[in-house]
Amino acid sequence: MIQTNELTRIFRAEEVETTALNKVNINIEQGEFVAIMGPSGCGKSTLLNILGLLDTPTNGVFNFFNENVAGYSERQRARLRKKNIGFVFQNFNLIDQFTVFENVELPLIYLGLSAKERKTRVEAALEKMQMTHRRKHYPSQLSGGQQQRVAIARAVVSDPKFILADEPTGNLDSAHGDEVMNLLGELNQAGTTIIMVTHSQRDAEYAQRVIMLFDGQVISEKLSSEKSN
């Protein structure tokens, strides 16, 4: 489903060049739950952004459903993105001035669904995350864990092929973190592909496979301890 070949990302900022990704080759199949780990600054987020079509590689091949999207324009990427990918962030990134319902509804708006269709889908997503009773609330009225559940509802509402999560538990205490990880696990059980960046060994255990990055390079790929056999 996702496959990269010598994927390289170089940041150039006034004289300084940072090679954030250096010839990365990875391959992720449908239905997988993959964790990406590594020290700070090793390029995890950079990789995730490229996989999420938010950023383009400087070099290399990025096959997205067998289509090399490495050179795609912003507009082409936006179109692929909205149909296929859901995002979950460390800092939730809910829009403060929107209610829970409106936040979850947002991706559907750009898919051009009817108001009725949107309503059913949002209700279903909130139901799944057990946030239906909070639908009229604003993000600031929710706890961190609740906010992240809303963010996950938003990520899944458009029924994406896979979900990208960048340190989804980074801002949560362990109880809420576990809750979020369980939800992601359930989604994966139901067939959604999940790619997650994390610093936490605990979280990584939910994944079937762990990709270790160091200085922009993949240094190891191993099956997660729990699911190894």
Ligand X SMILES: Nc1ncnc2c1ncn2[C@@H]1O[C@H](COP(=O)(O)OP(=O)(O)OP(=O)(O)O)[C@@H](O)[C@H]1O
**Segment contacting another protein by CB under 8 A, of 21-29, 95-103, 174-182, 207-215:** 95-103
Q: Is 89 in the site for another protein (CB under 8 A)?
A: yes
**Nearest approach, Cβ of 183 to ligand X (angstroms)?**
22
Residue 199 identity = H
Q: Which of residues 147-176 bind another protein (CB under 8 A)?
A: 166
Regarding 45 and contact with Mg ion (CB under 5 A), the answer is yes
CA–CA distance from 188 to each of 13, 19, 171, 178 (Å)?
Answer: 38, 32, 22, 15
Three-state secondary structure along the chain?
CEEEEEEEEEEEECCEEEEEEEEECCEECCCCEEEEECCCCCCHHHHHHHHCCCCCCCEEEEEECCCECCCCCHHHHHHHHHHHEEEEECCCCCCCCCCHHHHHHHHHHHHCCCHHHHHHHHHHHHHHCCCHHHCCCCHHHCCHHHHHHHHHHHHHCCCCCEEEEECCCCCCCHHHHHHHHHHHHHHHHCCCEEEEECCCHHHHCCCCEEEEEECCEEEEEEECCCCCC
Give the one entry of Mg ion, ligand X, another protein, none that residue 62 binds, where binding means its C-beta sits below a cut-off of 5 to 8 angstroms depending on kind: none
Considering the rule CB under 6 A, would residue 40 count as an interface residue with ligand X?
yes
Token reading at 200: 């936490």
Residue 69 touching another protein (CB under 8 A): no
Residue from the set 22, 24, 44, 180 that interacts with ligand X by CB under 6 A: 44
43 binds ligand X (CB under 6 A): yes
* Minimum CB distance to ligand X, residue 198 (Å): 10
- Smallest distance from ligand X to CB 36, Å: 9
Window of 39-47, 63-71, 121-129, 138-146 that interacts with ligand X by CB under 6 A: 39-47
Q: Is 192 in the site for Mg ion (CB under 5 A)?
A: no
Residues making contact with ligand X (CB under 6 A): 11, 13, 18, 20, 40-46
Residues making contact with another protein (CB under 8 A): 45, 49, 52, 54-55, 74-75, 78-79, 81-83, 87, 89, 91, 93, 95-98, 102, 105-107, 109-112, 115, 166
